[in-house]
Amino acid sequence: MSAVRMMKLITGIMEAVLAIPVLGAIIIVSNGWMPLVIMLVLHIITLLLAVRVQGPLAGSIVGIIASCLGWIPFVGWLLHAAAAIVLLVESFSRRLQQ
């Protein structure tokens, strides 16, 4: 499994956990919004890896936006869910088979 595929899968799963309505909010708020910073760094790393292999970028971009706006109650939930879906779809994309 390539590094890009692995990072997209990991960040997709983590975004899916943060998209669970009450659980995601508890994780983020109880840790002082640090999970959003960690996810931002992971999405940037994933984006740089995807650029290097000319893979799909949309999931990482949506993830970066979700990390930046995740502190807004319902907007954050929607963005985390969208990022999770796009990242997981991209992780199984044929464009990443290398």
pLDDT for 73: 86
pLDDT tier, 97 (very low <50, low <70, confident <90, very high otherwise): low
Please state the pTM of the whole predicted model: 0.91
Mean pLDDT of 2-21: 95
Distances (CA, A) of 28 to 2, 3, 17, 37, 72: 29, 26, 11, 10, 11
